[in-house]
Amino acid sequence: MPESPNNAHPSRKDRTRPAELLTLAGIMAVFTGLVVLLSTRDVALAIIFLGIAFIVVLMVLALLVLAVRPDDDEQLDLDEQNRPGGH
């Protein structure tokens, strides 16, 4: 069902975007942790690398999302939000 541009609720895609980024960062972090664990057999070192990889990947993905220019629909929504009264 298409949403009208005046609808104040975010779309399903907009709501699930953070979960997608967290999932992708988690998958990459688990992969890094497994590589370190299988190569060193040190669980503590693997957990440390897993945490570092999660944070680094999450930060890189967030910066890449911020670098994307808004499309026409997003720009219209931003312009509507910046008007006095919010309508």
Q: Between these two residues, 28 and 65, which has the higher pLDDT value? A: 28
3-class state of residue 64 by DSSP: helix
Q: Closest by alpha carbon to 26, among 48, 50, 3, 2?
A: 50
The full set of domain ranges for the chain reads: 19-72
In Å, how far from its chain's centre is CA 87? 28
The two structure tokens encoding residue 12: 């399903």
Residue 21: band (very low, low, confident or very high) from pLDDT cuts 50, 70, 90? very high
On the question of pLDDT at 12 being above 70, the answer is yes
On the question of pLDDT at 11 being above 80, the answer is no
Query: What's the confidence (pLDDT) of residue 86?
Result: 55
Query: What proportion of the chain, given as a percentage, has pLDDT over 70?
Result: 87
In Å, how far from its chain's centre is CA 61? 6
> What Å distances lie between residue 63 and 5, 18, 42, 66, CA to CA?
27, 13, 32, 5
In which region does residue 86 sit, left (phi positive, over 0), alpha (psi from -120 to 50) or beta (all else)? left
Query: pLDDT tens-digit profile of 41-61?
Result: 999 999 999 999 999 999 999
